[in-house]
Amino acid sequence: MRDHNSTYSPYTFLTDSDSESFFAELDYRLRSGEHIQSQYRGQEDIFSFLSKYTTELAHYYKALFGLSLEEAGSAYGSRYYYLDSIEGVKNKVSNELRRPLKKEFVLLGIFLCKLQIDLSEVDTVRGFKRVLREDYEAYKDSFFRLLARVSGDDHIETDEEAVDKIIDSAFREFHRLGWVDLEGDRFEIMPSLERLRTLYVNEINNIDELLSYE
């Protein structure tokens, strides 16, 4: 018979000697909307912990928070995890992060995915800005107008400095989410950016239609 004075938990990951070191950080990152992957600097240990207890942790988040622990990517190097709402999974509509992603950031994320397809060598924020203005010059005016509309700030349409500030903020948010690993001006696209590509594949493949509006 079990001693009722003893501490019992159905989750063995809580009794793992690594739990004290890694679980609190993992839980905070997941519930903040971050994507956990081995390629992201500083996530190697919590990724290994999560990989070891994926099934238990999935039950934990479903039972306690009504959240679904999602696994995506095929191989170890490209596999990543994130939390989504149960309803979001049922409806195949992502409950985009624990806090809503600004529309202007979504637009820049779509453009980043498009750029990755066309010009995979771009790996700096400065280079991203240059490509937007020079290599995609035909899109520039339409893109600035759309960015102004979705942000609700009309002066952005003619203010390149304001656009640069939005781009800088967007990349900081992409870094927080784990979509890119940003260090100074340089960034590396992470496997979890695939989530954004999956959500907005039509917009990425038909960017002309996205940018053409009256």
Q: What is the CATH number of the domain that holds 20?
A: 1.10.10.2250
Distance CA 106, CA 9 (A): 40
Of the residues 31, 56, 90, the one at which a domain ends: 90
Model confidence pLDDT, tens digit, residues 63-81? 999 999 999 987 767 899 9
pLDDT reported for residue 214:
42
Q: What is the mean pLDDT of the chain?
A: 85
More confident residue, 4 or 65: 65
Residues 162 and 117 in one domain: yes
Q: Is 199 left (phi over 0), alpha (psi -120 to 50) or beta?
A: alpha
Structure confidence at residue 9 as a pLDDT band (50, 70, 90): low
Distance CA 27, CA 50 (A): 10
Strand pairing report for 80-85 and 186-189? unpaired
Give a yes or no: residue 6 inside a domain. Answer: no
Give a yes or no: residue 175 inside a domain. Answer: yes
Model confidence pLDDT, tens digit, residues 102-135? 999 999 999 999 888 887 678 999 999 998 888 8
Going 192 to 42 to 28 to 18, the CA torsion angle's sign is: positive
Residues 197 and 124 in one domain: yes
Task: Count the Cβ atoms, other than its own, within 10 Å of residue 203.
Answer: 18
Contacts of 153 (CB under 8 A, 6+ apart): 162
